[in-house]
Structure formats: C-alpha cells, structure tokens
Amino acid sequence: MGPESLPPVEAVVDLARRAGRVVLEIYNSFDGATLRKEDGSPVTAADHAAEALILPGLRALAPEVPVVAEEHCAAHGIPAAAERFWLVDPLDGTKEFLRRNGEFTVNIALVAGGVPVLGVVEAPAFDRRFWAAGGEAWQQQGNGAPQRIAVRRPPEDGLVVLTSRSHGDDTRLDAALRGRRVAERRILGSSLKIALIAAGEADLYLRFGPTMEWDTAAADAVLRAAGGGIDDPSGRPLAYSKPGFANAGFVAHGAAAD
C-alpha cells in the first residue's frame, strides 16, 4: 500500500488525542473501580470510554476498513484478520493506569498485508504523542511543533535498555544482555518503551512473555518508520494478522551497530 492510499494520519492523531483526553479525565477522577476480563486482566471505564470514541471515529474516517479493538474482542471474540484493518488498544497499560504512574497510552494502527503501515501512540498523562505514516515518524509535545524522529546508533558508553514494569524477567534479561555494554536499565510501562526507542531516547526492549498485536502495532509502525524494528524470536520482523492476533516474545531495537 502506497502513502497515497493511507487515510490522513492527522485525523488519526486527532482521534487518538481526543481519546487520550477522555482517558485522562477518568484518570484524574478515578475511584479505583475495575472489572476483570475472562483472562483475568483488569479493565476500567477508561478502556471502554476511549474505545467507544475511537471505533465510530475510525468508521467515519474509513468505512470500508474493519476495526479490531481489544475490548470489543474481549466481549465478542477475536475475528479473522482482513487484508487491511485497524488495530486498536484504547488503553495500553491499564495496570500503570491503576498504579497512577501515567505510563499508559492509546494505540491506533492500520495494518495492511501483515505490516503496520500507520500508527499513533498517544501518552495522555505526558501530553506527548508519536505517529508514523508514509515512511516518516514524528513526535509532538503538547501543542508544540511536530518534530521528525529517528532511532540512534548504539552509544559508545552503552545501551539504554528498557524493561517492563509489569512483565519484567530479570534473569532472562541478564542472560540476553550478557556481553553487551549497557549504560542504564530503565523500567517503563506500555508501548511508551517502543516509542522512546523510535525517538532516539533508548536502544533496546526485550519482551519475553506474550502480548497481543494491538499492544505493539502502533508503536511498531512508528519504530519502523524511524529506522528501527521489532523482531520475533526467529529474528524476522514481527508479523501481524496472525491467528488469534497473539505475539510471542520480541526484541524492539534501534539502529544496528556498525
């Protein structure tokens, strides 16, 4: 799919930003009420409210493109993948939302031919967003001017390695990093980890446990456009439209060392 056939990314950025405001309003007045989905994971009013805004917005923007969204799938089952479809996580990092550390995101991606070709990651608590389309990656802080972003070369003094706040595995991480020069390990929640690699603020994120495609697709689109990527356990770029939309472990990385 060429850039000319993509929906206008500015409209998707605006939609994610509006969903982020809804999430932030609930976050700022949150009373702690949660429910549990069938898999035992928590869900809040913010998850549902953001998705209720995003789904009609995407349908208005591209009526012919189906939408696969986390909470709809939790309630109605996971559909078969189409050649071209939206992947939505209305609140990535619900556990971070509950911990009140701000490390949660709204993720919207467009997948075509198994590849995320457009992605928006909104971090409402930090008033920061990342997006990509047409091979270009951008970020914006507040209402400031958007800035192009790109991954960095591994620093001489060592890598900044990001690890999950909720799904860390220090033993496996130690083994995977053996022989690499590491300057810092930083704990962070949600798809922010992948977005910060795209922005050249970190270098590596190793995920050992499973995720779902809606957890990764938006940030993956940004990271690819910024010059990095996410590799599956076989070393190939992470593929989408897999049966059940499930990911195994992966490695998100910036530029390769020379």
pLDDT at 169 over 80: no
- Looking only at the bridges linking them, the beta strands covering 250-253 and 229-231 are antiparallel
How confident is the model over 8-46, as pLDDT tens digits?
Answer: 999 999 999 999 999 999 999 988 777 776 666 888 899
- Residue 200 or 36, more confident: 200
Task: State the Cα–Cα distance between residues 258 and 243, nearest whole angstrom.
Answer: 36
Token pair listed for 27: 């976050």
CA distances from 130 to 98, 127, 196, 243 (A): 23, 11, 9, 28
Question: Which of the given ranges, 22-36, 157-171, 172-186, has the highest pLDDT on average?
Answer: 172-186
DSSP-assigned states of every residue in 203-230: -EEEE-S-EEHHHHHHHHHHHHHTT-EE
How confident is the model over 181-192, as pLDDT tens digits?
Answer: 999 999 999 999
For residues 84-111, average pLDDT: 95
- Do 119 and 213 form a contact (C-beta atoms < 8 A)? no
List the single range of 30-39, 69-78, 123-132, 226-235 with lowest mean pLDDT: 30-39
Q: Write the DSSP symbol of residue 93.
A: -
- Looking only at the bridges linking them, the beta strands covering 105-112 and 84-92 are antiparallel
For residue 2, the model assigns a pLDDT of: 47
Which amino acid is residue 2, in one-letter code?
G
Q: How many CB atoms lie within 10 A of CB 91?
A: 30
Position 258 confidence tier, pLDDT thresholds 50, 70, 90: very low
How confident is the model over 203-222, as pLDDT tens digits?
Answer: 999 999 899 999 999 999 99
Helix (H, G, I), strand (E, B) or coil at 84: strand
Task: State the Cα–Cα distance between residues 198 and 246, nearest whole angstrom.
Answer: 23
Question: What H or E segment, with its residue span, contains residue 147?
Answer: strand 147-148
